[in-house]
Amino acid sequence: MPQGNSGMDPLRQLSLFFSLMFAICATSAETLPDLTRGKIIVPDEIPGVETLTAEGVIEKANSNDKLIIIDARINKDRASGYIEESLSLPDINTDCDALKKIVENKKTPLLFYCNGVKCGRSVIAIKIAKSCGYKNLSWFRGGFEEWQEKGYQYMTQEREHR
């Protein structure tokens, strides 16, 4: 799958553009991280979204078999490892249609993560999910960086890591 917008179908580009514009307008009081600059300011919390630590992710996954974990990182980041059973949906590909393909019921619990507190991709993906009407949202703010630092099991394309 191509990275970025190069090679992307023009209709898909337009759909993504309008989804992002809707998300920005719908959350105008909330600031989206600017991923085009070197310094990213990620909020401590996102209004209406449960913020979790790595232990909270484990507890939530163990207590809710309907939980869908979404990795909002781009594919090259995911190649270095990902939380087991997480689905890849980079923020640059997140829109209402892409989310609907993963889960139609907007009350299904969704948990988003990215690289960590200096990565804003999961923030963008969550705000898009909110604008699409998804209600049961959680955010693993510490992301994959915290997951690895705490020594939790993760997967790569080749194998499981402990």
Domain locations in the chain as residue ranges: 47-161
Q: What is the pLDDT of residue 157?
A: 76
DSSP code for 82: B
Average pLDDT over residues 75-81: 93
DSSP code for 35: T
Greatest distance between any 2 Cα atoms in the chain = 42
The closest alpha carbon to 138, from 117, 105, 104, 113, belongs to 113
Task: Write out pLDDT tens, residues 28-77.
Answer: 335 555 555 555 678 999 999 999 999 999 999 999 999 999 999 999 99
Nearest 5°: the CA angle 79, 106, 4 is 35
Domain at 47-161: CATH code: 3.40.250.10
Task: Write out pLDDT tens, residues 106-148.
Answer: 999 999 999 999 999 999 999 999 999 999 999 999 999 999 9
Q: Is the pLDDT of residue 153 over 70?
A: yes
Q: Select, from the ranges 11-15, 37-41, 101-105, the one with the highest average predicted confidence (pLDDT).
A: 101-105
